[in-house]
A and B are shown apart, each in its own frame.
Chain A
Amino acid sequence: MLPLAPMLVPLVTALLAAALPRHARLRRGASLAGAVALLVCAAALFVRVSRGGAISVAVGDWPLPYAIEFVADGLAAALVLTAALLGVCAVVHALATGPASEERAGLHPLLHALLAAVMAVFLAGDLFNLYVWFELMLIATLGLLVLGAEQRHAEAALKYFAVSMLGTLLMLAAVGLIYGATGHLNLAALGAAALAPQVAAALPAPVTLLLLALLLKAGVFPLFLWLPASYHALPVTALALIGGLLTKVALYVVLRLLGGVFVNVPGLLVEALGWLAVITMISGVLGAAYHWDMRRILAFHIVSQIGYLLLGVALASPAGTAGTAFFLIHNVLVKAQLFLVCGLMWMAAGHHDLRRIGGLYAARPLLALLFLIGAFSLVGVPPSSGFWGKLLLVREAFAQDRLAWGGAALGVGLLTLYSMSKIWLEGFWKPHPETRPQRSFAHAALSPVAYLAALALTLPILALGLYPEPAMRHLELATQALWSAGGQR
């Protein structure tokens, strides 16, 4: 039952929270309790998997490979733990910012529904199940997008819906075609079946289609414009969770499919992924350099960081996969932390646009410190978590003589520094452009609890930066297991 708990706990929490539309206090209590319970389950699962190896559950006690399987291996367990931590922080942030920003009653149920879907994708052991949980993720995100119930929310939701739906349809078609070619949906059985030569010959086209769908959902060039166009309509709490997790979830699936299932994909496809990664990195960071709205800057940085992750996938080696996994966890934490800090900046200064705010360093030194830690990590200044992530990826790229790929990764780091220093100079350093330096609503809202969520995400980022060995070792073992499982078949 343990591998299913990370999925079932948020599902039940979502139902409980939705059943209490008029009892704000009870609903928030249930939401917090559910998030903490999820973290406990995730930690227990992580400990058990790292001690005893992968656990699998066949739902309904049907025989494999026909049953719907959920597999918790080292990689999945690490990501489940990261996402559960993110869930707790998001809920704490929602509680701290007060009922005014969250009510419209749907926030907590939808947050937990989203968490359930994300966990299920991490743990899913078959292709069709992946599709179903991606749909649930889409539905929960759409719900969060329209919470504000103003025109811009509905517009953002429609744009998000149209593109995501297209991606989902491509994914379903690919899943169907792969089933038609192999007769399997279970990932382990698929990997075994894909080794037969006549099956392998039929696979490249549907696998490419599947990758296309996943890359669209991950926001890879040229299919990323939906992301900055819709994310900023989300409430900050949801933005931290969605900006931190969703695109990365799609990339995790790519990593998992190419690393452990479809190990014999044509070299041309991998080559193309690498170049796409480079273009994604550069176009994302250039988009961020153009924008002045903090949410859009960060949204474009999501795209840019997805490029790094895809680069790691394209390196197609155990070391590259381990580096990608480390970068994935670092990036989930840092992105969510920066979005939370950006929410706090908005509360303190009154606007999302850097041209309208300022003076935060003098007014909120702790906020400035939190931002600096997140920003340095995103840029990859040693010894931050981002530094180790980039080091692993760039080192592997140079080891494989991919000089252009590694060089691009380093250059994009500089441009990331540019837009982070833009936020620093404009938001924190320069004086507030209005003569009244602070808006009055700001002081009431910034309770210590509001800092707590951002702080709770900053600590693991610092830990990953200062003492990365345990995480690296765990992920190396996990990815080796993934690759050897792919190679043995």
Chain B
Amino acid sequence: MGLMLAITISIIVAVGVLLLLSGELFRLVIGLAVLGTAVNLVVFMTARPGSLTPPVIEPGFTTLPAGAVNALPQALVLTAIVIGFALLCFSLVLAAWLAQRQRRADVDGLRATEPAPTDAVKPAILED
């Protein structure tokens, strides 16, 4: 189980990094989301998965059943998913807007904040 999850995580990380480096706006955003999934799995793994007993106290008991899975990493992952989801939404809107404005969706088009220098020794003047 542990080995399988580790291999899965490393494949997801590889996919995420590949998307990140593609130089295309939407792939960049999706790549970060994919990487986020891999990280969530890493946190999930710290609960040492294997047990299938949910961490729920049955009616009539006051303690967890023996061998119940650790609930804390799941709570952490849930929090991370919520935050990551909000940021993914935000960045998708941002990327969509940028792609619409400049009619291309690659990162090389993002020169408005860093114009190419026209002078040999001094940086370009930023008008705003």
Contact = CB atoms under 8 A, between A and B. Distances in A.
Q: Is there any pair of Cβ atoms, one from A and one from B, under 8 angstroms apart in the complex? A: yes
A335 interface: no
A355 B102 contact: no
Given A158-B94, A229-B114, A353 B73 contact: no
How large, as a class, is the contact surface on chain B? 35 or more
Nearest to A157: B94
Nearest to A143: B90
A355 B43 contact: no
Contact of A176 (B43, B86, B102, B125): B43
A292 B122 CA distance: 8
B128 A138 contact: no
B95 A158 contact: yes
Contact of B28 (A131, A139, A162, A173): A162
Interface string A134-146: 0100110010001
Interface string B97-115: 1100110000000101110
A232 B126 CA distance: 10
Interface in A166-190: 166, 169, 172-173, 175-177, 179-180, 185
A81 interface: no
A49 B97 CA distance: 48
A462 interface: no
B22 interface: no
A290 interface: yes
Given A156-B113, A180-B46, A229-B113, A132 B83 contact: yes
B6 interface: no
Contact of A152 (B91, B113, B123): B113
B42 A177 contact: yes
A154 B126 CA distance: 16
A441 B48 CA distance: 64
B18 interface: no
A198 to B, nearest CB: 16
A139 B87 CA distance: 7
Q: Which of B42, B113, B125 neighbours the largest number of chain A CB atoms within 10 Å of its CB?
A: B113
Contacts of B48: 180
B45 interface: yes
Contacts of B102: 151
A161 B123 contact: no
Mostly, the A contact residues are helix
Contacts of A123: none
Interface stretch (B31-39, B50-58, B60-68): B31-39
A172 B95 contact: no
Contacts of A352: 126, 128
B10 interface: no
B125 A172 contact: no
Given A176-B39, A230-B113, A146 B128 contact: no
Contacts, number: 105
A352 B73 CA distance: 48
A233 interface: yes
Contacts of A128: 76, 79
A158 B98 contact: yes
B69 interface: no
Contacts of A296: 123
A48 interface: no
A291 interface: yes
A185 B86 CA distance: 24
Given A142-B90, A162-B32, A355-B125, A155 B43 contact: no
A409 B42 CA distance: 40
B23 to A, nearest CB: 12
A154 B80 CA distance: 25
Contacts of A161: 87, 90-91, 94
A2 interface: no
Interface in A160-218: 161-162, 165-166, 169, 172-173, 175-177, 179-180, 185
Contact of B39 (A152, A172, A291, A292): A172
A146 to B, nearest CB: 7
Contacts of A179: 43, 46, 72-73, 76
A356 B124 CA distance: 12
Given A154-B97, A155-B112, A169 B126 contact: no
A180 B32 CA distance: 24
A103 interface: no
Contacts of B40: 172
A296 B114 CA distance: 11
Nearest to B121: A290
A176 B90 contact: no
Given A146-B94, A154-B98, A293-B125, 13 more contacts: A131-B80, A152-B112, A154-B94, A158-B95, A161-B94, A162-B32, A165-B36, A166-B32, A173-B39, A176-B39, A176-B46, A233-B113, A352-B128
Interface of A: 128, 131-132, 135, 138-139, 142, 146, 151-152, 154-159, 161-162, 165-166, 169, 172-173, 175-177, 179-180, 185, 229-230, 232-233, 290-293, 296, 352-353, 355-356
> Would you list the 4 A-B pairs with minimal beta carbon distance, nearest first?
A180-B46, A176-B43, A152-B112, A155-B110
